């Protein structure tokens, strides 16, 4: 609930509106998980809150850790559906400690990319704003409890297509950004999309200053139609125009995610095509050796192939880095832990 809604609810049960800010402080700044801990509220109010509201919509059912730098959690929702979220710890990133939470926005995904474990699970429903925020609060409490600092970054790159759940996403960003609530700068949040052009254009008008990341994976329509099926509706020429408009409106450099698949999109010719597509664009390319899934047609290239692809891009003037996969030993790729859980339940 935003502040106004919470104030209205409190007034409706005979409580003063100012209590709303106290409650929000407990939830978002003190990171309490229980109404009983809200010691500056009257006992009668705490009891009333417990009877009428809930602080958590998620319950962890599987949790895996990888070398102290990644924690992946599978959550069960109140309707017993499951989603994933991950905490990635970077001890010294650009001179500072960084704790990044990767959150889901949907149960499953409607885009259906053939190389993605989530895409192979199909789509079930959108998450509520509360379910999105709860993933962040869970890991904020986790860091607090183990004395490992605070969340510094949020990426909406987990299960689902974030811009297909636009209203809940926008409300979650506003709540997490608000100085009276979680208080994280919008510049420390990144929204990923497979390329929903109307929503990209709408997001550019919000003036939120969130980063935008495009799951590109191919530089021509024929190949991208295969890898990212939404490209059939929103082809590359239109997508690139929307990206330029987003940059013009926000001044935020766009990141293009390019997952590399052996023998599919990893040749020098593919690198040249990508450089041509992005020529003159203020952007950054994240090269991602693929996480292997049950679809054997999409496997990671050899390390030297990945390096050669990066070098070709840089030679042609495109800024690129290789995002080394974290947590492969714990099924940290999108949808992998959930896929394993679903198989184990059978």
CA 182 to CA 26: how far, in whole Å?
10
Q: Which residues contact 309 (CB under 8 A, 6 or more apart)?
A: 260, 266, 268, 270, 271, 287, 301
Query: What does the alpha-carbon distance between residue 288 and residue 324 come to, in Å, rounded to a whole number?
Result: 7
Cβ 212 vs Cβ 245: under 8 Å: no
- Residue owning tokens 């209590």: 19
Note if 102 is an active site residue: no
Query: CB–CB of 188/154 below 8 Å?
Result: yes
Q: Which of 15, 84, 161, 312 is catalytic?
A: 84
Q: Which of 102, 116, 243, 334 is catalytic?
A: 334
279 phi/psi in degrees, rounded to 5: -55, 130
Closest by alpha carbon to 171, among 224, 133, 114? 133
What's the token pair of residue 129? 């704003």
The greatest distance separating any two alpha carbons of the chain, rounded to the nearest whole angstrom, comes to: 69
Quote the distance between the C-alpha of residue 261 and its chain's center: 22
CA distance 71 to 181: 25
The answer to whether residue 113 is catalytic is no
Q: Which of 111, 61, 116 is nearest to 85 (CA)?
A: 61
Q: Do 169 and 105 touch, CB atoms closer than 8 A?
A: yes
| Best CA proximity match to 37, nearest among 45, 46, 28 | 46
| Length in residues, the chain | 346
Name the token pair of 316.
Answer: 């042609």
Active site residue ranges: 84, 334
């Amino acid at each position: 609930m935003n502040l106004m809604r919470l104030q209205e609810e409190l007034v409706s049960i005979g409580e003063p509106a100012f209590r709303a800010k106290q409650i929000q402080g407990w939830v978002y700044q003190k990171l309490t998980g229980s109404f009983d801990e809200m010691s500056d509220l009257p006992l009668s109010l705490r009891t009333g809150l417990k009877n009428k509201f809930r602080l958590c919509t998620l319950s962890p059912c599987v949790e895996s850790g990888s070398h102290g730098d990644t924690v992946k959690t599978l959550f069960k929702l109140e309707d017993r559906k499951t989603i994933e979220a991950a905490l990635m710890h970077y001890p010294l990133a650009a001179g500072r400690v960084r704790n990044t939470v990767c959150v889901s926005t949907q149960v499953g995904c409607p885009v259906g990319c053939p190389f993605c474990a989530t895409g192979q699970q199909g789509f079930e429903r959108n998450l509520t704003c509360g379910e999105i925020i709860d993933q962040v609060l869970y890991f904020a409490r986790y860091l607090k409890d183990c004395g490992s600092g605070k969340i510094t970054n949020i990426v909406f790159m987990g299960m689902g297509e974030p811009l297909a759940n636009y209203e809940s996403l926008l409300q979650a960003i506003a709540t997490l950004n608000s100085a009276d609530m979680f208080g994280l700068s919008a510049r420390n949040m990144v929204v990923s999309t497979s390329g929903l052009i109307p929503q990209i254009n709408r997001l550019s008008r919000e003036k939120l200053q969130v980063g935008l990341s495009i799951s590109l994976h191919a530089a021509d329509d024929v190949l991208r139609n295969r890898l990212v099926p939404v490209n059939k509706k929103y082809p590359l020429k239109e997508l690139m125009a929307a990206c330029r408009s987003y940059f013009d409106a926000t001044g935020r450099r766009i990141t293009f995610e390019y997952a590399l698949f052996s023998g599919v999109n990893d040749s020098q010719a593919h690198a040249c095509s990508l450089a041509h597509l992005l020529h003159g664009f203020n952007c950054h390319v994240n090269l991602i050796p693929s996480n292997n899934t049950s679809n054997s047609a999409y496997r990671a290239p050899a390390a030297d192939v990945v390096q050669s692809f990066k070098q070709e891009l840089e030679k042609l003037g495109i800024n690129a880095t290789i995002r080394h996969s974290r947590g492969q030993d714990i099924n940290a790729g999108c949808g992998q832990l959930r896929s394993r859980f679903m198989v184990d339940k059978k």
